[in-house]
Structure formats: C-alpha cells, structure tokens
C-alpha cells in the first residue's frame, strides 16, 4: 500500500477493517505529532504516553463511527493531542490555577516561547529597517559591523580578514555604533520589539 495515500482513504480502509491502514496513518504523522507534543511537555516519556493516548482516542472514535471530519485527519488528531496535553498539566498540577482575582487574564498564565506571527513580522521589519541604516555607514565601518554582528566573527578574525589591526577593527566597530545611534536619533527612528 502506498504511504502517500490520502488520509481520508486510509481512514475509510481502517473503518472497513484494514488494520494496516491505521499503521500507515500513524507512521505518516508520527514525527509531526510527536514533535508537537514534545514541544509542549519537554519529556520523551510523557510525549510517548500522550501520543499513545491520542491514538487510543482516535481508534475508539473511528470504531464508534463518529469520525466525520473527512480530509482533516491531522488537524483532528492534533486537537486530540492538544486536549490530552492540557489534561496532563491539570492532573500534574503544573498548570496555573485561577485564584479569583478580578483582573484575571488567561494569557498572562499561558505562554509560548516561540515568536507569534505578529512579533515575527515586527522583528522582520526591524531587521529590514536596521539593514537600511547599516547601509548608510561608511564602507569600512559597515564591513566590520556586518562581520561582527551578522557573521559572529571575533575581532581577531575581522582583523585577519580586513588586513587591519585588532585595535583598528575595534575602533571601526565603535564608530559604526556611534554613527548608527546618530542616524537613529537624527531621523527619530524607534526600533523596538
């Protein structure tokens, strides 16, 4: 059986009694689902438990005949996993509890370390704006700043690559930063994230 078969066809085959179809579905989505779970719980053992519980719920739902989200198998499975992750935190008392304050904000309790879309757009815009400002610097200062900040080179490496002393490279970096501050102040630019 071809692993690239559509999820909906595999679901139909499993419901019709083809156990191999479920095995293909699990293999097909194993990596993505496991990565999603692990990103939330940071434990291999808990990830495996939640992964297994997820597919136990999937099997029960399919066998009952109550699955009706044809073509949306993976989002459905991810939602089951997400709910099991929340259950895990509730059971382990690691999820913050509401203490009855008037100014309750669920988003202050739950967070995601990853950048959300809005923050990523802002960060990309700041990076773009900063690139324009760097281009206004004199060539020697721009070269040192790019090597140091964007290429993460040491001043010794910069010195060797540009043929100037380490002190000269340090001086150019210093002047590059001073000049960037002047450009930012002169144009009333705000670079915040």
Asked if the model's pLDDT at residue 105 lies above 80, the reply is: no
Share of the chain above pLDDT 90, in %: 20
How high is the pLDDT of residue 193? 52
Choose between 93 and 155: higher pLDDT: 155
Choose between 190 and 65: higher pLDDT: 65
Instruction: Provide, for the chain, the percentages of residues in helix, strand and coil under a 3-state DSSP scheme, each rounded to the nearest 5.
Output: 70, 0, 30
Asked if the model's pLDDT at residue 77 lies above 70, the reply is: yes
Domains, the chain, in order of start with CATH, read 7-91 (1.10.1740.10), 117-186 (1.10.10.10)
Determine the Cα angle at 109 with ends 107 and 110, to 5°: 70
How high is the pLDDT of residue 131? 81
Q: Find, among 77, 180, 99, 109, the residue nearest to 138 by Cα.
A: 180
Average pLDDT, the chain: 80
Backbone angles phi and psi of 101, in degrees to 5: -70, 150
Task: Write the pLDDT tens digit of every residue in 3-35.
Answer: 344 888 888 888 888 889 889 888 888 898 999
* CA torsion angle 160 164 170 172 (round to 10): -120
Q: Taking the complete model, does pTM exceed 0.85, yes or no?
A: no
How high is the pLDDT of residue 108? 52
How high is the pLDDT of residue 168? 92
Alpha helices (runs of H) in 44-165, residue ranges in sequence order: 44-64, 73-91, 106-109, 117-135, 139-145, 155-162
Contact 19, 70 (CB under 8 A): no
How high is the pLDDT of residue 63? 85
pLDDT band at 1 (very low <50, low <70, confident <90, very high): very low
| Tokens of residue 91, six digits | 């059971």
């Amino acid at each position: 059986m071809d692993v690239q078969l559509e999820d909906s066809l595999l679901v139909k085959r499993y419901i019709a009694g083809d156990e191999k179809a479920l095995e293909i579905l699990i293999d097909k989505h194993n990596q993505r689902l496991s990565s999603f779970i692990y990103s939330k719980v940071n434990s291999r053992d808990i990830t495996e438990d939640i992964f297994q519980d997820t597919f136990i719920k999937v099997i029960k739902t399919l066998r009952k005949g109550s699955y009706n989200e044809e073509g949306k198998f993976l989002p459905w499975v991810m939602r089951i996993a997400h709910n099991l992750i929340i259950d895990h935190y509730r059971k382990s008392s690691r999820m913050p509890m509401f203490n009855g304050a008037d100014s309750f904000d669920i988003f202050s309790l739950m967070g995601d370390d990853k950048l959300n879309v809005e923050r990523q757009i802002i960060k990309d815009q700041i990076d773009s704006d900063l690139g324009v400002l760097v281009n206004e610097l004199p060539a020697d200062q721009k070269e040192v700043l790019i090597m140091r900040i964007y290429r993460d080179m040491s001043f010794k490496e910069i010195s060797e690559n540009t043929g100037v002393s380490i002190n000269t490279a340090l001086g150019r970096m210093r002047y590059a930063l001073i000049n960037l501050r002047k450009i930012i102040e002169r144009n009333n630019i705000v670079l915040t994230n």
